[in-house]
């Protein structure tokens, strides 16, 4: 297979050299692209010295933007995305490619217990995985892993959907499921990263909460809106029963809740149609 390996990097000079060297050791003929996302250190120079092709962002645009830049620059039929901070082992790449050869369109390295994520991030990832599994009807083992192999032509179909921030793995996974492409998982161990993480607890914690809603809107909005509408309908019915029994009348609060339930459900139906239009070319 003609392979391109993409490493988005921002101020990763401490780890990028060893990462590129490891990739080169296993795939000396592969195209290795480091997307230098506005680094202020010598990430670019270290990458070039290790044998990578470097694509530059004049300023930091975000991890997702670097992924999109790398995907556009890649010439391979298969693209492997991995972190530049030493978390991902290049020796795991053949295991991902093996499933690609078997016919899958995306293969994700699923982090196992003992990987470096903190307890809070581990719990959050578990929540995302369960929600995504419910939405898709398929077991999602690691929704947010940045270590994955994809068929380049299929991945580029969804570049317009990908955010510029850190949630590109979530968006791309759900887009592949929605389009009916095959997604598989390979268990991996993620090592402790080298250097300082770019994730900030308060800022990115809020952003990760929004991922939950993005999961729903990318795949099936009705599955998000319908339960809310049902809860409002049951609350309205319960309040109506109470006021009818106690006061013998139908109150404005019941009317408001019933109306809200209908509106939320209709919003879900409209969102479902909008979501379908996003994939009309597939």
User: 67 vs 104, 156, 163, 229, 258, CA distance in Å?
Assistant: 21, 11, 10, 37, 45
Of 39, 73, 81, 77, the C-alpha closest to 168 is 81
Q: What is the pLDDT of residues 220-247, one digit of tens each?
A: 888 889 999 999 999 999 999 999 999 8
Q: What is the mean pLDDT of residues 266-281?
A: 80
Determine which of 42-51, 66-75, 189-198, 234-243 has the lowest per-residue pLDDT on average.
189-198
Of 90, 103, 97, 72, the C-alpha closest to 3 is 97
Contact predicate 34/9, CB 8 Å: yes
Distance between CA atoms of residues 158 and 153, nearest Å? 10
Contact predicate 32/23, CB 8 Å: yes
Report whether CATH 3.90.550.10 matches the domain 3-216. yes
- Pairing between β-strand 106-111 and β-strand 183-188 as defined by DSSP bridges: parallel
Look up residue 281 and give its DSSP letter.
Answer: T
| pLDDT computed for residue 222 by the predictor | 86
| pLDDT computed for residue 22 by the predictor | 92
Q: What is the mean pLDDT of residues 270-281?
A: 76
Q: What is the pLDDT of residues 159-214, one digit of tens each?
A: 988 888 777 898 899 889 988 899 999 999 887 766 565 555 555 556 666 776 77
Domains of the chain, by residue range, sit at 3-216, 222-278
């Amino acid at each position: 297979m003609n392979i391109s390996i993409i490493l988005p990097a921002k101020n990763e000079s401490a780890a990028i050299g060893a990462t590129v060297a490891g990739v080169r050791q296993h795939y000396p003929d592969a195209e290795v692209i480091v997307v230098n996302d506005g680094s202020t250190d010598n990430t670019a120079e270290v990458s070039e010295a290790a044998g990578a092709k470097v694509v530059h962002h004049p300023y930091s645009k975000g991890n997702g933007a670097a992924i999109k830049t790398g995907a556009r620059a890649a010439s391979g039929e298969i693209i492997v995305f991995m972190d530049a901070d030493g978390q991902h082992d290049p020796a795991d790449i053949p295991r991902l490619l093996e499933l690609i050869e078997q016919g899958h369109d995306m293969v994700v390295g699923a982090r196992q217990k003992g990987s470096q994520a903190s307890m809070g991030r581990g719990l959050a990832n578990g929540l995302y995985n369960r929600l995504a599994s419910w939405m898709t009807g398929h077991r999602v083992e690691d929704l947010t892993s940045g270590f994955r192999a994809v068929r380049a032509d299929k991945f580029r179909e969804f570049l317009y959907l990908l955010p510029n921030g850190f949630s590109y793995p979530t968006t791309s996974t759900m887009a592949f499921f929605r389009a009916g492409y095959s997604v598989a998982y390979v268990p991996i161990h993620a090592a402790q990263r080298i250097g300082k993480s770019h994730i900030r607890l308060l800022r990115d914690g809020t952003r990760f909460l929004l991922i939950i809603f993005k999961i729903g809107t990318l795949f099936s909005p009705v599955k998000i809106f319908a339960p809310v509408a049902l809860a409002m309908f049951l609350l309205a019915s319960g309040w109506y029963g109470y006021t009818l029994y106690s006061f013998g009348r139908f109150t404005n609060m019941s009317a408001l809740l019933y109306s809200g339930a209908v509106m939320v459900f209709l919003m879900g139906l409209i969102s479902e149609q909008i979501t379908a239009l996003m994939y009309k070319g597939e």
